[in-house]
Structure formats: C-alpha cells, structure tokens
Structure 1
Amino acid sequence: MLPPRRHPALPDTGLLIGRLAVGAVFVAHGWQKLADEGHGAVARTFDHLGIPLPGLAAVYGTWVELLGGLALIAGVLVPLAGVLIALDMAGAFWYVHMGKGLFNQEGGYEYVLILGAVCLLFAFTGAGRFSVDSVLWGRRREPAPERRSVPA
C-alpha cells in the first residue's frame, strides 16, 4: 500500500502549470493562423505541403489550436481538447516533420511530438482540481480501500 501524499495538491498544481503553458502556445499559434494569415493563406500553405482537404484542415487546425488552447488554460473539456490537439499535432508530424529527423532546428518533429504527447497526457489524466472541469464535474473519488486488521 502506498503512503499518503504529503502534499496532495502538487499533482494538480503541476497539471495547472502545464495546461497554462501549453495552452498559451496553442492560443498563440491558432491566433497567428487566424489573424495574421487567415484561412485562405493557411489553406494554400497546407495545399503546398500536400495536406488533404487543405481548406478543411486549415479551419480545423486554426480553431482547434485557438479554442483548444483556451480550453486547456481554463481547464474546460480538457480530455476532448487534448485529443483534438494531439490529432492536430499528429497531422503536423505526418505531413510536415516526419521525414526531417528529430531535431526542430532541422525541421524535425521534436516540438510536435512533445506537444502532442503532453496533450494526450492531459486528455488521459484530466485537468486536475484547479480547473473549470473540476468545478463542473467534481473529482471522481475512488473509495478508500478496506483496512483489514491482522489477527495477533
């Protein structure tokens, strides 16, 4: 049996810090696609990269990054946001970075790999207690294991 945690809020604090940092990155990328380039320019870039259905992919990528990033920051619908963003990063890996090696400086996939993996981490673990999800849905508590006394 594991001993009780001395600081039970630490894992939730770690999730909060991670969600804020990763969410900010995705909001910035989504906003850049929307405000600086627009769907048409993003679609043309995606078409040049050989991404199927570039117009639809541009809309998906823009809005999943922007709204998914905001969802991570707020901690709302984090499992859904995490999966959708991870799929976005899987597309970036497959169509843009896969053949260029690991290192980002060479156009490789290390950045999208880490972002996608962290988003799956959020999807699988949830947002933690410092989130809108926790306020709306509450924390699922597992029943405490029964303690059996050992006969003397």
Structure 2
Amino acid sequence: MITRLQPIGLLIGRVVLGVVFIAHGWQKFSENGMDATVQGFEGLGIPAPTLSAYFTVGAEIIGGALLILGALLPLAGLWLASVMLGAMYFVHPLDGAFFSQEGGYEYVLLLAAIAIAIGFSGGGALAVDSLWLNNIGEKKEADEPARAESLA
C-alpha cells in the first residue's frame, strides 16, 4: 500500500516545495524589480550582489519549476539548497535565533533539507526524471536480447 502511494506523496512534496520557491523567486523578481533585490542583497553584505540576486531568483523560479516537473532533481535540489544555505549564512546566521519568527534560520534550514531530500529521492513514478530513466531502462532491456544473440 505504501509503495503505491509513494509517488503521490513525492508529487505533493515536489509541487508544494516548488510553489514555495517559485513564489519567493517571483516576489524578488517582480515586487520591486531586480534592482531592489540587488540593493537589498548589497545592504545585507552579500558578495557580488547583482550576480547573487540573479542566481537566487533563477534558482527559486527555475529550480522550483524543475521540482514540480520532477526534472533534473539532484541538480535542482543542490541549487536550491545552496541558495538556502547562503541565506542562512548571510541573512539568518547560526549564532542568531533559531525560530524564523525571531529572524532565525529554522525556515531556510528546513527548505534546504527538503530540497536535498526531494532532489535525491528520484521524484517518484510521476516525475519526468523517473519517466525518462524508465524509458532508457526499457530500451536497454529491449536491446539486451539482440546484443546477446550477436555475441553468440
């Protein structure tokens, strides 16, 4: 029973996490524009604020979409986790509060951990990665008898 429900659970996790990341990226992109995001990053002391702002917004929007699709999951998970760990370092430092309501790192740490977990989960049967890998596996299995006969 659990095995049959696992793809649904992973789909729900991927979609919800992807929507959260896309919402945060879109907010940085559109609310006051990228110039405001760059200025905000500069004010926080984030190195290379322009590059960092575009890297962050790209990760949140593109990485969030990749999560929803279940495509390139390990890459998306690492990209998103790196952004969250950067946020933890520059915005919500470990020597500060833990709880997010106090400006702590709880939320960004949780997002980083979930991004890694989902990124390396395989995404379930309803992920593009799984469908693509299954097609490769089926093609390889179909080629096996032909290859075995040619070796005989």
CA distance in 1, matches of 2:20, 2:107: 11
Structure 1 position 87 matched with structure 2 position 82: yes
RMSD of aligned C-alpha atoms?
1.6
Structure 2: gaps of 5 or more residues: 138-152
Structure 1: gaps of 5 or more residues: 1-5, 142-152
> Which residue pairs with 2:129 in the alignment?
133
2:99 to 96, 99, 103: 103
Structure 1 stretches of 4+ with a deviation exceeding 3 A read none
CA distance in 2, matches of 1:48, 1:62: 17
- Deviation of 1:139 (Å): 8.2
The change in CA–CA distance for 1:139 and 1:94 in structure 2 (over 3 A counts) is farther
**What pairs up with 1:61-80 in 2 under 5 angstroms?**
61-80=56-75
Aligned length: 136
CA distance in 2, matches of 1:7, 1:117: 23
The change in CA–CA distance for 1:140 and 1:97 in structure 2 (over 3 A counts) is farther
CA distance in 2, matches of 1:127, 1:37: 34
Q: SS of the residue aligned with 1:28?
A: helix
CA distance in 1, matches of 2:71, 2:82: 18
Q: Is the 8 A contact 2:73 2:120 kept in 1?
A: no
2:30 to 9, 28, 35: 35
Which letter does structure 1 place at the counterpart of 2:25? G
Residue deviations 1:109-128 (CA, integer Å, cap 9, x gap): 11001000000101222211
Q: SS of the residue aligned with 1:112?
A: helix
**TM-score with structure 1 length normalisation?**
0.84
Q: SS of the residue aligned with 1:93?
A: helix
CA distance in 2, matches of 1:96, 1:7: 39
> Which residue pairs with 1:3 in the alignment?
none
Identity of aligned residues (%): 45
